Amino acid sequence: MKRFMSLLLAFVLVFAVFVTGCSNNEKNDSGKDVEKQEEKSSDLKVVLLIPGNLGDKSFFDAANHGMELVKEELGAETKVIEMGTDKTKWEPTLIDVSEQDWDLIISGTWEISESLNDIAKEYPDKKYINFDTSVDETPENVYSMFYKTNEVSFLAGAVAGLVTKSDMELANEDNVIGFLGGMDNPGINDFLVGYIQGAQYVNPDVKVAVSYVGDFVNPAKGKEMAMAQYNSGVDVGFNVAGQSGLGQLDAAKEKGKYAIGVDSDQAMLFKDTDTEKAEHIITSAVKNIDSAILRAVKKYQEDTLPFGTYEVLGLKEDGIGLAKNEFYEKLMTDDMKKQIEEIEEKLSKGEIEVNTAFGLSTEEINEIRESVKPQ
């Protein structure tokens, strides 16, 4: 009996050691996997250069959110540098970060594209992403994206064209909509051309009041110009003016008019802090900049990012779209929403050819503006 108990005890001890050893091995193997995963993600260093400033609640803030996603989802070391509006500082900053040990250098807008491409050629061993450019020249170490801004603004124009001729509470009988641009340049005018075409698609007789702030960081002037538009008969306005465009949202609230945001879902950005303002923002013409940046960095990690190429992202590619939030659902009638859905389907299928400002002369842009100018 004692011999049997001794053998049994020995067996139990051996089994316990075996189980513990297996468990430790599993933990160690798992730990090694986690360590490898952390090592892979923490090795990635990504910097974003903002050719302007954060706080616009649209374009640059969307890019910044993209970097937050890169940090959260990929575990990368990230840095965001606000270069301000002084263009003389942009190129030196690009050179400075190119001399550092960043794996990916990201920037965007057509204004910085030429400098970015020039610097990239001087640093062929570095990798760059241009997250929004209309310049299709792409060096071998640069991956560039462009959003079909004329396509998303076509949708914004269709919304505005439907709203101004509707029986909505804040609509009037003037059949005039507004456009507030930051600068009179091809990038902003590409929005304008699509906006006018989209409005005329649903409302052929619509007129469009067009104003340019001349600055992307002057919300006070943006508000002043938007107020002038609303006072002249505009009942819904579309802003493509960065921080200056925030002034239009203030004016819409103050005058009891409608507004359409840009780049980010601007109504939802104000939902918790200024609900009354949010209720005047019917929708926003959204560029999915944050998800596009995350997608590009993921592809870089997977060694599948096609450097040397220029990718165009439209409605079909989920690069752009309208913000269809609770305010859109509440303000737009079922018939209006149905018309927008039909237009989206036609755009995705290529059944509607949207005009673009790129390649047009100053005279041709002027002709378009004059053709819809309110009397």
The structural domains of the chain, with segments of one domain joined by +, span 42-147, 149-286+333-371
Stretch 116-127: mean pLDDT, rounded?
A: 97
Confidence of residue 25 (pLDDT cuts 50, 70, 90): very low
State the burial class of residue 3 (Cβ atoms within 10 Å of its Cβ: 0-12, 13-18, 19+).
Answer: exposed
Predicted pLDDT of residue 39? 41
The span from the CA of 268 to the CA of 360, in Å, is 35
Predicted pLDDT of residue 42? 56
Predicted pLDDT of residue 139? 97
Asked if CATH classification 3.40.50.2300 holds for the domain at 149-286+333-371, the reply, yes or no, is: yes
Confidence of residue 335 (pLDDT cuts 50, 70, 90): very high
Q: Could you identify the residue written with the tokens 């709203």?
A: 163
The span from the CA of 341 to the CA of 100, in Å, is 47
Output the CA angle 33-38-41, nearest 5 degrees. Answer: 125
**Per-residue pLDDT reduced to its tens digit, 257-284:** 999 999 999 999 999 999 999 999 999 9
Predicted pLDDT of residue 33? 38
Q: Say which residue, 10 or 181, is predicted with more confidence.
A: 181
Predicted pLDDT of residue 318? 87
pLDDT above 90 coverage of the chain, percent: 83
Q: Could you identify the residue written with the tokens 């004059």?
A: 370
| Of 30, 110, 38, 108, the residue nearest 77 (C-alpha) | 38
**Per-residue pLDDT reduced to its tens digit, 42-61:** 589 999 999 999 998 888 99
Residues present in the chain in total? 375
3-state secondary structure string across 317-369: CCCEEECCCHHHHHHCCHHHHHHHHHHHHHHHCCCCCCCCCCCCCHHHHHHHH
Strand, helix or coil for residue 174: coil
| Of 82, 77, 109, 78, the residue nearest 93 (C-alpha) | 82
Confidence of residue 3 (pLDDT cuts 50, 70, 90): very low
Predicted pLDDT of residue 80? 98
Stretch 355-370: mean pLDDT, rounded?
A: 97
Decide if 310 contacts 84 (C-beta within 8 A): no
Among the four given CATH numbers 3.90.79.10, 3.30.70.120, 3.40.50.2300, 3.30.1490.190, the one describing domain 42-147: 3.40.50.2300
Range of lowest pLDDT (121-125, 155-159, 317-321, 333-337) = 317-321
Mean pLDDT score of the chain: 90
Predicted pLDDT of residue 36? 36
**Per-residue pLDDT reduced to its tens digit, 101-116:** 999 999 998 889 999 9
